Amino acid sequence: MKFQKKQKQDQRINAPFISWKVLLILYLILYCLIIAQYFIIKGLGENKGVMISVIVFYLFFTGLILTILFSVVQKQIYGKPLRMVAKAAKQVAEGDFSIRLSPIRKDGRKDEIEVLIEDFNTMARELQSTEILKNDFISNVSHELKSPLSVIQCYSMALKDPELDALRRKEYAGTVIRATQTLSRMISNILKLNKLENQEVRPVKHSYPIGEQLRRCALGYMSQWEEKGIDFTIDVEDIILCSDDDLLDIVWNNLISNAVKFTPKGGRIFLCSRKEKNKLTVKIEDNGPGIEKKQEAHIFDKFYQADESHASEGNGLGLALVKRVLEILGGEIRVESTPGKGTAFYVTLSVESFE
């Protein structure tokens, strides 16, 4: 016969559910009733008929008193906090995530009810945070979709002008094409991020030369860095990595494209990789405008852009994708930045990634 294992008590609970004061009062009342019964029986002497009637009545009266006492205790100890939690839960169900419950105990200790209240408040905070993120996501998606669509609409209408000369027509057509490419990239990134966040993605790992992959990704942006006159230095080790190269392509392409985008004309970018103690660290450094300290904590959030005016190209999804991919692959990413001097991203892949 199988028995269920006894569940361990929550380590946060450090107080009994019913206090010793309440128990002491109940014991005193019960003791007084017993003493009273003793003296009643003693006073009746040997009159058994009367004694039995009195005892029956007394037991009924005692049971009634105890029932009332336990009902009051239950209502105050069990009922009041549970009604409070139930009322708050109803408010949450109606969409009010700002509700918080105050502790019942005043001594700072926690019993089962206090832990329930603490967990309820944690749940409400998380739901409120999720609601804020959802609203921000909708707001940002609307903004990011509206910008390229407005450009497409405006320049498409301009292209209908029969008096438009060939040079300006070509220029307007190029603007429309770039806007559609921006829109396409954003939708593609949204779909990728949604898949990575909401589906169980199993990496397809195989051995391949990581140095070759890094060089290939960097060369994919050669035309852009040459156009800006950027000094792009590549110093990567030729080692074999066992990982999902398709997922890592997302990481390298986003980090390199960001470096090229934010590096000024005539600036420099440094891409290097080093293996130490079965860990690979890839560094991508630029001498762009850098990131303020208060912004560093948010750069991996969806749709977050340090440029709050959204004037720069991008939609704030690239680094969120990078973060999620590295979580799936068991890697890490950190950033070091000095405003006005540049930014360096460090990607570290764990020992399990090596062959």
Where in the chain is CATH 1.10.287.130? 139-198
The pLDDT of residue 309 is 38
Question: Which residue in 27, 9, 133 sits closest to 70, CA to CA?
Answer: 27
What's the start-to-end Cα distance of the chain, in Å? 47
Yes or no: say if 256 and 271 are a contact pair by the CB < 8 Å rule: yes
pLDDT digits (tens, 9 = 90+) for 20-35: 666 677 667 767 767 7
pLDDT band at residue 9 using 50, 70 and 90 as cut-offs: low
| The pLDDT value given to residue 77 | 64
Fold of 207-353: Heat Shock Protein 90 (3.30.565)
pLDDT in tens, 275-332: 888 888 999 999 988 888 777 766 777 655 554 433 444 446 778 888 888 888 888 9
Share above pLDDT 90 across residues of the chain, in percent, rounded to a whole number: 9
Tens of pLDDT along 73-116? 666 666 777 788 888 888 888 888 888 888 877 776 777 778 88
CA distance 320 to 301: 6
35 three-state secondary structure: helix
Domain with CATH 3.30.565.10 in the chain: 207-353
What pLDDT does residue 12 have? 63
Long-range contacts from 303-309, C-beta under 8 angstroms, 24+ separation: 303/136, 303/137, 303/140, 303/141, 303/144
Q: DSSP character for 354? A: B
Tokens of 288: 């762009």
* pLDDT at 212 (0 to 100): 92
Q: How far apart are CA 87 and CA 93, in angstroms?
A: 10
Q: List pLDDT tens digits, range 139-181.
A: 656 656 776 788 888 888 888 888 888 888 888 888 888 888 7
Q: pLDDT at position 314, please?
A: 47
- Name the helix (H) or strand (E) containing 57: helix 48-74
Return the DSSP state at 79: I
CATH top-level class for 139-198?
mainly alpha
Long-range contacts of 25-32 (CB under 8 A, 24+ apart): 26/69, 26/70, 26/73, 29/65, 29/66, 29/69, 30/66
Give the span between the Cα atoms of 48 and 37, in whole angstroms. Answer: 15
pTM over 0.75: no
Between the alpha carbon of residue 185 and those of residues 42, 153, 343, the distances in Å are 95, 18, 24
- Looking at this protein, which amino acid is placed at residue 329? L
- Coil, strand or helix at 239: coil
Q: Is the pLDDT of residue 137 over 80?
A: no
Average pLDDT, the chain: 76
Band of residue 221 on the pLDDT scale cut at 50, 70, 90: confident
Q: What is the pLDDT of residue 311?
A: 41
- Three-state SS annotation for 312-348: CCCCCCHHHHHHHHHHHHCCEEEEEEECCCEEEEEEE
Q: Which of 176, 175, 184 is nearest to 144 (CA)?
A: 184
| Residue 287 main-chain phi, psi, to 5 deg | -115, 40
What is the tens place of the pLDDT at every residue in 44-63? 666 656 666 666 666 677 67
pLDDT, position 150: 81
pLDDT band, very low/low/confident/very high, at 207 (cuts 50, 70, 90) = confident
